[in-house]
Structure 1
Amino acid sequence: MSEFIPIASSDLTGNELKYVQECIETNWISSKGRFVKEFEEGFAKYCNSKYGIATSNGTTALHLALESLGIGEGDEVIIPNLTFAATINAVLYTGAIPVLVDIDENSWNINVKKIEEGINNRTRAIIPVHLYGQPCDMDRLVEIANKYNLYIIEDCAEAHGAEYKGQKVGGFGDIACFSFYGNKIITTGEGGICLTNDKRLNEKMRILRDHGMNPKKRYWHKEIGYNYRMTNLQAAIGLAQLERIDELLIKRREIARKYDANLKEMKGIITQKSFKNRDKVCWLYSILIDPNNCSISRDRLIKELLNYNIDSRPFFYPLNKMDIYKKYGFDNNLEISEQISLQGINLPVLVEMNEEKINYISNIINKICCENLI
């Protein structure tokens, strides 16, 4: 296939242009305007949460959540070892200490059986990450949090619309954080949001998001805050995306279904598992190279795919393998995340993908794997 297939792209075929044009025509292009409020309320409602606080990106959403909970120097926060760096960076911004816990080899999410080993009297919170659209074991996480009086901040950056026992992710903890980066399930270009059901946290985050300014007394600052606001332009795109989120998720599920049909029984490939009571979503299509059947490395497969005009991405690197983070592993047993990372590749998911492209990608993977079978 001569046409290059990128890893992801945004579908902006709804009311995005219309709403952005309204922002320009009315001159409401900064952080004031109707779209910010409507997007906050609409996304919170979609996730069955009371309050939505839109932010400039997903990383600032995580930082805002931690700050609003009073987490800071001397505190510890438990996070999975396999996640994007924004999760650990947000903890470090506060002066708190991240504690890396290994993942479960089947779900690729934080291993709930190991969390308690990392808890001590300085532990204040857990950040479960719904990695690659797969919901975490929220029942067990809530049970642990209640037992030790810990906060839960859900990192839902890759899991818009995913459900655990019929409830959308983002409503199980104290605060949930989403990203709306350009490659996410819905996008605002750059952007994020915090969701909460707590009125006090909602008010706190709104103040911190706007420089710590007193909402009733302009330019009077009650505390040190941040400029983490979302613009009306971003929210205009987000609202148009939100109007179509169910349609976009259906298209992504259909793409995942077609990939599954092609790859699930392919020798040398392991597809992402499904679990009872967990309705995962397809952000990117995630696979593992099976080292028992195929000798090709993750990095070489990525290079080979590129030779056929197919873009792909490796799984995130384990945090403990990077020099700036390696001291935060509470023990040396982080082997599962290290192994899964070495095996993992994400394949293209574009809502406009047709069956021909999915079959082409699948056939090329089959060809490469067959050439490298053990």
Structure 2
Amino acid sequence: MMATRIPLCIPSVGAKEEGAVVAALRSGWVAPAGPQLDEFESCLATVTGRSHAVAVSSGTAALHLALLVQGIGHGDRVAVSTLTFAATVNALHYVGAEPVFIDCDDTGLMDVAVLEAACADSLVTMRPIRAVMPVDLYGRPADYLRIGQIAAAYDAVVISDAAESLGASLGGEPAGSFGEVAALSFNGNKIITTSSGGAVLCSDPETAARVRYLSTQARQPVVHYEHTEVGYNYRLSNLLAALGLAQLERLEEIVAIKRSHHRAYDEALREVNGMRLLDAADGNCWMSVLIVGPESGTDAWSLSESLLRSGVETRPVFKPMHLQPVHEGCDRRYITGRAEELFQTGLALPSSTELPPEDRSQVVAEIAALIDEAVKV
């Protein structure tokens, strides 16, 4: 097997980021507090149309805190996208909540008709759905207008997993602005990175204060160490916030490049038999996802293996959470099969910010050649 020559998605960091981190280091603010952290949170709130942002150690921590501050706990039922990364549902288990898996529509996003059916059934069974947790898949925001209407009708809160969608928009409003609270991720492969990190977004000052309190070990405001409830060591380091600030200054540039990747792949691959890209709408195109149809003469898994032999890294669409052994026994009544179909047919293509056009063209050429060969067989 050839070593990977064209990686799936690697971070884009350079002199600006290096300078920002060195300056923070030399300032002496190396703990989870400092001017860069304060500024990073302020800028995040502005970019996402929120009043408050609290930066934390990971996107998973952000989801955990978002659930806690909305009062979601043991035995509460939460409607959650099944087509997502593990962190979304893991956070539900942290608080003892019960996932109710909701399948996706053709876009890969939470199917609002299926969600409404689940909420209606909850009235019949007298087991209410306390929260709805949509996922902005591969950078495209979910249908928050309809989701918000459905949630309000059934007295549920909306917690947005916007880990992948920073810089995207929906109806002219920025990703992260939807729901009572939203969670972002700044993992190494996200739109912007702090190496590891995340943020909780909200518009209520009391909610923001509660997030800060819980994320700093729930320490009481006294001179000595006083704790009246369990807290968490979840705050982001000031050094990593400095990295995030430098990245955030480049957000528009990064999103523009990601969208250009998607357009180029879409224009080139639509001419290849059985190939199409998952619709990105106004998403940030964090990952460009190829759908491999039966007309291609192959399947996504075989195509991925062949590309890897040529040094091109790809990755299957997320394996749905309802298929994961760890979630066996969870509510699967609202599974239609669409997420499983996308898992079998979807393939994330190389989407690095600094992916050269010639490498992108090489990916297309490799795919076209493999499909041509498969059709001839």
Provide TM-score, normalisation by structure 2.
0.94
Q: Please say which of residues 248-257 and 46-55 is displaced more in the overlay.
A: 248-257
Match of 1:115 in 2: 115
Match of 1:256 in 2: 262
CA offset at residue 332 of structure 1?
A: 6.5
RMSD, aligned α-carbons: 1.6
- The residue identity in structure 1 corresponding to 2:340 is E
Q: Could you list the per-position Cα deviations for residues 25-49 of structure 1 after superposition, in whole angstroms to 9, with x for gaps in the alignment? A: 1222120211111101101111110
Match of 1:288 in 2: 291
* Counterpart secondary structure, 2:313: coil
CA offset at residue 246 of structure 1?
A: 0.7
Q: Which one has the bigger helix percentage?
A: 2
Q: Unpaired segments of 5 or more residues in structure 2?
A: none
The yes-or-no answer on 1:57 pairing with 2:58 is yes
> 2 CA distance for matches of 1:328 and 1:236?
41
- TM-aligned CA distance change 1:325 to 1:2, over 3 Å: closer
> 2 CA distance for matches of 1:214 and 1:344?
49
CA offset at residue 197 of structure 1?
A: 0.3
Candidates 129, 134, 140, aligned match of 1:134:
140
> 2 CA distance for matches of 1:305 and 1:329?
37
> 2 CA distance for matches of 1:2 and 1:218?
55
List aligned pairs for 1:65-84, cutoff 5 A. 65-84=66-85
> 2 CA distance for matches of 1:112 and 1:216?
47
CA offset at residue 289 of structure 1?
A: 0.6
The yes-or-no answer on 1:337 pairing with 2:339 is yes
Match of 1:158 in 2: 164
CA offset at residue 274 of structure 1?
A: 4.6
Match of 1:242 in 2: 248
* Counterpart secondary structure, 2:304: helix
List aligned pairs for 1:205-284, cutoff 5 A. 205-215=211-221, 218-275=224-281, 279-284=282-287
* Counterpart secondary structure, 2:329: helix
> 1 CA distance for matches of 2:331 and 2:266?
35
- TM-aligned CA distance change 1:338 to 1:218, over 3 Å: farther
Q: Could you list the per-position Cα deviations for residues 65-109 of structure 1 after superposition, in whole angstroms to 9, with x for gaps in the alignment? A: 00111111110111111100100000010001011011002x110
- The residue identity in structure 2 corresponding to 1:26 is S
CA offset at residue 168 of structure 1?
A: 0.5
Match of 2:312 in 1: 310
Q: Which runs of 4+ in 1 moved over 4 A?
A: none
- The residue identity in structure 2 corresponding to 1:41 is S
> 1 CA distance for matches of 2:109 and 2:328?
19
- The residue identity in structure 2 corresponding to 1:318 is P
Match of 1:104 in 2: 105
- The residue identity in structure 1 corresponding to 2:286 is W
Contact 2:101 2:334 in 1 (8 A): no
Provide TM-score, normalisation by structure 1.
0.95
Match of 1:21 in 2: 22
